[in-house]
Structure 1
Amino acid sequence: MKLGVFTVLFSQKPLEEALDYIASKGLGAVEIGTGGYPGNAHCKPDELLADNGKLKAFKQAVESRGLIISALSVHGNPLHPQKAIAKSFHDDFVKTVELAQRLEVPVVNTFSGCPGDSDDAKYPNWPVAPWPNDYQELLTWQWETKVIPYWKEMGKFAADRGVKIGLELHGGFSVHTPATLLKLRDAVGEVIGANLDPSHMWWQGIDPVQAVHILGRAGAIHHFHAKDTSIDPINVSRYGVTDMQPYTNMLDRAWQFRSVGFGHDLKTWADIMSALRLVGYDYVVSIEHEDGLMSIDEGFTKAVQNLQQVLIKEPLGDMWWV
């Protein structure tokens, strides 16, 4: 495995300065935002697709520092019921897949999106309860008329270009659990897989080790994010795991994102790394830092230090003791 980082963390730095800093920490990979929610501070697909010289210079800037691009990330909601919003996210996704093909990047990360409750809806509608039965009917309508048809089309588009789609399992979107990821994968094909982020498993009450096993046994992990979550046992009893308070209200929230090692101990993270190795995932572990208690540099540095202790880097050799 290689240790990497989602470079949106360093959007305030120019690309080459950010790459120098990342390389100085001993990392081997970068995940780069290309639009949507992450923005495109370090990578503007329109410019790179239109100018082969700029494309080569971009690739060289990464490779000359001993790094690889693990994924291009364009998280958004292409199923948003407001057509203009959906089109913006869709267009960013399409251009990112085209850029990934040109850069020989194997994965594009995004969200599945979440539709509204009808063709006339204004906002996404995320059903999370099976009763009253309206919610079941809504869920069926969303998947049959929006989610599956869209990703069948986009799945073929990506597969034709040799690119895999890594969907982040995130609350608020149609694909948010191992089961919903596998449901879409069954309908669309192996081009669909997870950008598995343990932080979103923990707050939903899902054991990330088991999530690795469930998805990994199906060959459905395309990319991996390293981010932690801490659960406040008192606040979660008041607000539940679907706490709608702003992330900035950290003292009262039921849960919050933390840097690796500050929500769960390193034994837990070692178990996750071992599970990834066990199911055959031998790609990049990409740090995503969204810890409201730590600066960018401190949170990133501590995540690197903690993951370096548990990351399994070397190829698996023979079992000499057998």
Structure 2
Amino acid sequence: MKLGFLTACLPQLPLDEIAAWAASHDYQALEVATWPSTGSRDFEASHIDVTDFGKRQADEVRALFERHGLTLSALAYYENNLHPDTTRRSEIAAHVRANVDAAALLGVDYVGTFIGRHPGLSVKENIALAERELPPLVEYAGERGVRIIIENCVMEGWHPDGYPGNLAYSPELWEWMFGLGLYLNYDPSHLLWLGIDPVAALRPYVDRIPHAQAKDAQLDPRARDRYGFFGRTVERADGWDSGWWRYRVPGLGDVDWRRIVDTLYEGGFTGVLSVEHEDPVWSGDTARTTQGLEIAHRTLRPLIVG
């Protein structure tokens, strides 16, 4: 197992600076963000432009990682593959394929994304839609030696009422998506606030988890007593404002990282555990964000052998 982090938390920095910082702070891997660059860098990260990527660019990226002794664990493009606008859905699928092409050139095994959801359809209708839309992407990736990994983020902000916007949030849905040839990019933080035991959910599926993310969650049960499980309604500022829980860097929330890492080891996991930094306390500028990554490192690195 290696410890890395997802570069999306540092959208303002170029990849070479992130790699240098990671290596100098004893991180071993990077999960690299590849959203299309539209100029809105506060809300997205584009550390590899997969739309203009050939052998020269692949050689440059490989040389960068070799120079710093880092592993490139996955390309990361987490978007709604069931977007209700069919034109936008096609654009997203095209960018997933571009990520697959770049991963194949780089010798990277994984591309991360979401299932997503059409918010105007029922779950049953969304499952039928996914069974039409996703197998061609799985086949495209497989032909190039790449696997598509799905993060189990709820993406409640994608739904107008704060309901799940990514149909990969529970073990029941994991089993369904495994049947489509997809793999899981396991993140315990989402399970915690859903009321699912992250360790119990993890244990049976380690062999379908080639890559994992490390994000924590801090719960406030007293606030839940006011708002209920689904969070704020009248007082909700935006789709992401539940009011009773928030994401934290590992070590500052309620996830039991000793049990998580031990369960991964027990199940034979040999991949990368990638910190996904979305902590509202340790963010806002580069210095504070990197301090958050240092906190995560102090929490997780002692648990990883080697």
Q: Deviations over 1:105-128 (max 9, x none)?
A: 0111100121243xxxxxxx5xxx
Which whole-Å CA distance do the structure 2 matches of 1:272 and 1:228 have between them? 11
Match of 2:201 in 1: 211
Match of 1:158 in 2: 141
Query: What's the secondary structure of 2:174's corresponding residue?
Result: helix
Which whole-Å CA distance do the structure 2 matches of 1:40 and 1:91 have between them? 18
Verify the 8 A CA contact 1:169 1:178 in the aligned structure 2.
no
Match of 1:67 in 2: 70
1:175 aligned to 2:175?
Answer: no
Match of 2:209 in 1: 221
Match of 1:32 in 2: 32
Which whole-Å CA distance do the structure 1 matches of 2:209 and 2:17 have between them? 31
Residue among 237, 246, 258 paired with 1:256? 246
Which ranges of 4 or more aligned residues in structure 1 deviate by more than 6 Å? Answer: 247-250
Match of 2:2 in 1: 2
Which whole-Å CA distance do the structure 2 matches of 1:153 and 1:249 have between them? 31
Change (3 A) 1:71 1:162: same
Q: CA deviation at 1:140?
A: 2.3
Which whole-Å CA distance do the structure 1 matches of 2:188 and 2:172 have between them? 15
**Match of 2:134, as an amino acid?**
W
Which whole-Å CA distance do the structure 2 matches of 1:179 and 1:286 have between them? 24
Which whole-Å CA distance do the structure 1 matches of 2:10 and 2:258 have between them? 27
Q: CA deviation at 1:222?
A: 2.3
1:296 aligned to 2:289?
Answer: yes
Verify the 8 A CA contact 1:29 1:67 in the aligned structure 2.
yes
Q: Say how many residue pairs are matched.
A: 283
Match of 2:13 in 1: 13
1:99 aligned to 2:92?
Answer: no
**TM-score w.r.t. structure 1 length?**
0.83
Structure 1: gaps (5+ residues): 118-124, 126-137, 315-322
**Match of 2:34, as an amino acid?**
T
**Match of 1:139, as an amino acid?**
V
Match of 2:114 in 1: 111
Residue among 262, 266, 277 paired with 1:274? 262
Which whole-Å CA distance do the structure 2 matches of 1:248 and 1:155 have between them? 30
Which whole-Å CA distance do the structure 1 matches of 2:5 and 2:85 have between them? 32
Structure 2: gaps (5+ residues): 38-42, 155-164, 283-287
Match of 2:298 in 1: 305
Verify the 8 A CA contact 1:178 1:214 in the aligned structure 2.
no
Q: Deviations over 1:20-43 (max 9, x none)?
A: 101111111000011169745310
Verify the 8 A CA contact 1:248 1:292 in the aligned structure 2.
no
1:200 aligned to 2:229?
Answer: no
Residue among 41, 61, 84 paired with 2:46? 41
Which whole-Å CA distance do the structure 2 matches of 1:301 and 1:27 have between them? 10
Change (3 A) 1:213 1:140: same
Greater displacement, 77-86 / 93-102 = 77-86
**TM-score w.r.t. structure 2 length?**
0.87
Query: Between the two proteins, what is the percent identity of the paired residues?
Result: 29
